[in-house]
Amino acid sequence: MSCCAPGAEMALDVTSAASALPSSDEVKLASRSLGGSRQTDLSVPAVHCGGCIQAIEAALTKLENVETARVNLSTKRVSVRWHGEDVPPFFAVLSRLGYRAHLFDPEAHERDKTLSELIRAVAVAGFAAGNIMLLSVSVWSGAEGATRDLFHWISALIAIPALAFAGGIYFRSAANALRHGRMNMDVPIAVGVSLAYAMSLYETINHGEHAYFDASVSLLFFLLIGRTLDHVMRERARTAVNGLSRLAARGSVVLREDGTREYVPAAELMPGMRLLIAAGERVPVDGDILNGNSDLDCSIVSGESAPKAVGAGTHVQAGTLNLTGPLTMQATAAAKDSFLAEMVRLMEAAEGGRSRYRRIADRVSALYAPVVHLAAFATFLGWMAVSGDWHRAMTIAIAVLIITCPCALGLAVPIVQVVAARRLFEAGVMVKDGSAMERLAAIDTAVFDKTGTLTFGQPRLVNASAIDPTMLAMAADIAAHSRHPFSKAIAVHGGFSGQPKLDSVREEPGFGVEALAGGDTWRLGRRGWAGWKARTGGEGKIGGYGGTVLSRNGSIVACFAFEDATRPDARTAIRQLKQAGVSVDMLSGDTEKACGEVADTLEIENFVPALLPSGKVEWIESLTRAGHEVLMVGDGLNDTPALRAAHVSIAPATAADIGRKAADFVFLRESLLAVPLAIDVSRKAGRLIRQNIAIAIVYNAFAVPIAILGHVTPLIAAIAMSASSLIVIANAMRLRGATRMAPPQLGMRQRRADVAGMVQP
């Protein structure tokens, strides 16, 4: 079974393709901004195998200003990251390689033409193979002379349309590759089938006793069955992505400044537009509700089936369903930058990752074409030298040509990554990179942030009645300028009008918010930072244990105490991690007392309080120096450096945008059981990848020598090649079953340094 694309997707002539290329402005509009660079997604229907992936990526990365190029085999998409104002000539390069490309349209859901063509080809090949086989039975039963020649000629005539239609899938792909100076996995198949037919035709013309028309057509029949099953398996693995894409609204009614209403396609919705969302419609883009009250089905975001009540000021995300009442909202992101679009990209990125195993498989697949042709040619020469029978030598060479196809090896890694990504998606975990699963499987230490990760990050102010109303109102005004969970808890107590107006406000990440009002400097945040004139005075001095205070000109005027509920199943998740041999640490910027209470509740022995963002990074780096592979789980803006410093990282969907972008995994639901599940699936995926690679190696180690020794016919070679690929696919599908936490592949390494002594909070 080849993993090449059908010939119906063959590239157009370079000249005609070039005339339809999009302009530079179109490419820029279709690209996503990544800060200092852009990412352009191209749809390349003819991308088909490991050799094609290597050719495309190598050619595109050589272009000036191109940073990376990644090919996703399942979605047949190429993602190119580039910088500068001049658009690199993507389309011209792909055309020279023989690939037709166009800008990817996320709203295009075409019928699966590939599957229809494959099914028709299988039917034609099967019908022809059955009839030729009936004629062959007569020859095998003793037909001789003119009768035998007649049956051979009839078989030759039946085989012609079968090879032309069903075999055209391979012939067109092989011809396109050779015409553009490339090799792919369809070339040896096309050569093998053609040689089998040509050799049989030669025997028929010369009244030979044996012809192999049945073998050539049956060979094609079994190859097509294998390819069809491969295509179906890949489509099943992509069902989650396709279903997720269909949740995107096609457009929305926009309320213009003059009061008029206009329906605008989702792709044209821009931040700042006011949208009208009727009951029963899906939210097309991320935004904030301006007017109206309703219930939303947010199961796509949180996994919870219970409707969520929303009103003015609530932030809503694309893909959620408006259930009960009309809403007016203001878009805060374009459709391509929405939460739903990000989830789709995460799902599609999972297979595209270049893990160590996949890089090995890609290199082997790239060497396949020259090696297999040399092996077949050497086999032919060897048998000619030994036997002098060119007929037998050619038959054995054809069998070698077919049986050595490394499709099993080419599928070993990507099929597992696709199935693993879907398994995690069904559990509410999004994977940003296939290589992240390999890294996650190796971790032995998990480091958790406290607020917003182990807890909901929605603390409640518990000592509001003990705080002077004027000071509380001033703190609420300052807190309204921050997204920190403690700030949100304080901001709800605003409304008192006796405080001075704020002149300026700025936030110091990890410390707090500073404001100027009436000639005074106000600070809301950490005790040590805000109350620089009051270094003394321990916790509990002014109501509660909280480390958050309000100060005026350096003197503390109010202290705040909070309560925050832990995430459901957090204790169970921590226990499962420990059972799997993963040590658990908690790092937080909160006070020792607050951290201690959460640590006791969740049975976490190791925790470090009062850490700045740089302190979390130092702690993780010290663990790494001690020989540990560290997983960081965090959500806040101040966790971003730690997420990047860790070997692998996970963030909740409620995390800040920059935190989600820094993380390798994003979990959508409230339960922390997503963390041990992700580790379990990653470890199991690693085992299946190693098993699949072993299957592919063992298959070739046994099959190739047997074929070279002449014990395999071309038909048996086709069956064996397809069977090896199907075994690899079936093995990968085992991952869809229930998973349980398993011990790590390598035993827990003993701590080689006292980490606590290496980093001081």
Q: For position 679, what pLDDT does the model report?
A: 93
- Provide the pLDDT for residue 407: 60
The least confident of 301-310, 433-442, 616-625 is 301-310
**pLDDT tens, 23-37?**
777 787 777 776 678
Listed range (184-193, 534-543, 641-650) with the worst mean pLDDT: 534-543
Q: What is the pLDDT of residues 677-692, one digit of tens each?
A: 999 998 998 888 888 8
Q: Is the pLDDT of residue 406 over 50?
A: yes
pLDDT score for 466: 87
Least confident of 196-200, 222-226, 272-276, 300-304: 300-304
Averaged pLDDT of the chain:
75
Mean pLDDT calculated for residue range 246-261: 74
Q: Which fold has domain 270-333?
A: 2.70.150
d(CA 244, CA 636): 26
Report the pLDDT value the prediction gives residue 551, as an integer from 0 to 100: 92
Task: Look at residue 741 in the predicted model and tell me its pLDDT.
Answer: 44
Identify the CA nearest to 427 among candidates 683, 282, 240, 657: 240
pLDDT digit string, tens, across residues 586-620: 988 777 887 888 899 899 998 988 777 778 888 98
Using alpha carbons only, what angle is made at residue 243 by residues 239 and 248, rounded to the nearest 5 degrees? 150
Across 184-207, average pLDDT: 77
Would you state the pLDDT for residue 757? 39
Please identify which of the residues 286, 449, 477, 639 carries the catalytic annotation: 449
pLDDT higher than threshold 60 for residue 126: yes
Q: Which of 8-17, 287-296, 742-751 has the highest mean pLDDT?
A: 287-296
* CATH number, span 460-563: 3.40.1110.10
Domain 7-105 adopts which CATH fold?
Alpha-Beta Plaits (3.30.70)
Sequence-distant (≥ 6) Cβ neighbours of residue 750 within 8 angstroms = none
**So what's the pLDDT on residue 353?**
45
Question: Could you tell me if 182 and 123 are in contact, meaning their C-beta atoms sit under 8 angstroms apart?
Answer: no
How much is the pLDDT for 105?
66
Selected residue with higher pLDDT from 462 and 483: 462
- 156 versus 537: the higher-pLDDT residue is 156
Q: Does the fold of domain 460-563 match that of domain 415-456+566-678?
A: no
Range among 462-476, 489-503, 506-520, 541-555 with highest mean pLDDT value: 462-476
| Domain 415-456+566-678 top-level CATH class | alpha beta
Count of other CB atoms within 10 angstroms of residue 557: 20
Q: Is the pLDDT of residue 533 over 70?
A: no
Name the range with the highest mean pLDDT among 230-244, 333-347, 351-365, 723-737. 723-737
Contact residues for 559 (Cβ-Cβ < 8 A; gap 6+): 463, 467, 527, 541, 542, 543, 544, 546, 548, 549, 550
Is there a catalytic annotation at residue 449?
A: yes
What is the distance between the alpha carbons of residues 231 and 122, in angstroms, rounded to a whole number?
13
Whether 228 contacts 119, CB under 8 Å: yes
Residue 3 has pLDDT above 50, yes or no: no
Q: Do the strands 648-652 and 630-633 form a parallel or antiparallel pair, or are they unpaired? A: parallel
Strands 102-103 and 261-265: unpaired
Task: With beta carbons less than 8 A apart as the criterion, state whether 264 and 254 touch.
Answer: yes
For range 463-471, the mean pLDDT: 87
Q: Pick the range with the lowest mean pLDDT from 89-93, 200-204, 496-500, 561-565.
A: 496-500
pLDDT at 573: 93
Poorest-confidence range of 221-235, 336-350, 381-395? Answer: 336-350
Whether residue 339 is predicted with pLDDT greater than 80 in this model: the reply is no
Indicate whether 675 pLDDT > 90.
yes
547 or 126, greater pLDDT:
126
Looking at residue 248, the DSSP 8-state letter turns out to be: S
Q: What is the pLDDT of residue 448?
A: 93
Average pLDDT over residues 340-347: 60
State yes or no: pLDDT of 238 exceeds 80. no
By the 10 Å C-beta count (0-12 exposed, 13-18 middle, 19+ buried), 518 is classed as exposed
Domains of the chain, residue spans: 7-105, 114-243+350-411, 270-333, 415-456+566-678, 460-563
- Which band of pLDDT confidence, cut at 50, 70 and 90, is reported for residue 485? confident
Strands 648-652 and 665-667, by their bridges, are parallel
Give me the pLDDT at residue 585, please.
Answer: 93
